[in-house]
């Protein structure tokens, strides 16, 4: 059986509803099924691969909107799990909103906010055979390196949103 990731809020390849975007810091509900045998924990990463050139040039990759390590016994995150209501034993990490100094953002979900056009937002859930060994405040490169050789399988969900209805603070 295939490892899958889904949301009650939107279908794969469809529009992410307004309550989860821009300055609404409410994560969408997510559910996963058929986790592979041997999964000890999950690592969730949400990215925007369609970011405009000036951001891509600064980062050298897509924009990270959310990163979290989740215990292997968990199979779903309810709406609004982030910020502040993640399952016990979970840990969230800083995103590119923090790296770019966006006010009001910390180590939690930051929704889609594309300045120019519709973008694809990829939620990737990595099933890991062990918990990643990370420093207290890891960046994306450290996290990617830690999960790369620990991954058993990956489930994906893509949502679309944009262009933004409001300007991003500081832009």
In-domain check, residue 104: yes
In-domain check, residue 147: yes
Quick check: helix, strand or coil at residue 12? coil
Q: From edge to edge, which strands make up the β-sheet containing 63-71?
A: 14-15, 151-161, 119-128, 41-48, 63-71, 91-92
Range of the domain at 119: 4-161
In-domain check, residue 90: yes
pLDDT value, residue 171: 61
In-domain check, residue 171: no
pLDDT value, residue 85: 96
Helix (H) or strand (E) holding 45: strand 41-48
Overall number of domains in the chain? 1
In-domain check, residue 63: yes
For the chain, 171 residues long, give each residue's pLDDT as a single digit of tens: 999 999 999 999 999 999 999 999 999 999 999 999 999 999 999 999 998 877 777 777 899 999 999 999 999 999 999 999 999 999 999 999 998 888 888 899 999 999 899 999 999 999 999 999 999 899 999 999 999 989 999 999 999 999 999 987 766
In-domain check, residue 168: no
In-domain check, residue 80: yes
The domain that holds 31 is classified in CATH as 3.90.280.10
Cα separation, 116 vs 120, whole angstroms: 12
In-domain check, residue 154: yes
pLDDT value, residue 170: 67
């Amino acid at each position: 059986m295939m490892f899958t990731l889904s949301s009650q809020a939107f279908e794969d390849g469809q529009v992410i509803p307004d309550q989860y975007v821009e300055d609404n810091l409410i994560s969408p509900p997510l559910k996963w099924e058929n986790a592979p045998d041997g999964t000890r924990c999950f690592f969730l990463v949400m990215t925007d691969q369609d970011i405009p050139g000036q951001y891509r040039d600064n980062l050298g990759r897509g924009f990270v909107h959310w990163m979290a390590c989740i215990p292997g016994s968990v199979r779903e995150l309810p709406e609004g799990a982030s910020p502040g209501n993640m399952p016990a034993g979970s840990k969230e990490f800083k995103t590119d909103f923090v790296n770019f100094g966006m006010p009001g953002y910390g180590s939690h979900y930051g929704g889609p906010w594309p300045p120019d056009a519709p973008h694809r937002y990829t939620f990737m859930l990595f099933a890991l055979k062990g918990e990643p060994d990370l420093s207290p405040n890891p960046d994306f490169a450290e996290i990617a390196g830690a999960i790369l050789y620990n991954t058993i399988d990956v489930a994906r969900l893509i949502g679309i949103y944009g262009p933004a209805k409001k300007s991003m603070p500081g832009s």
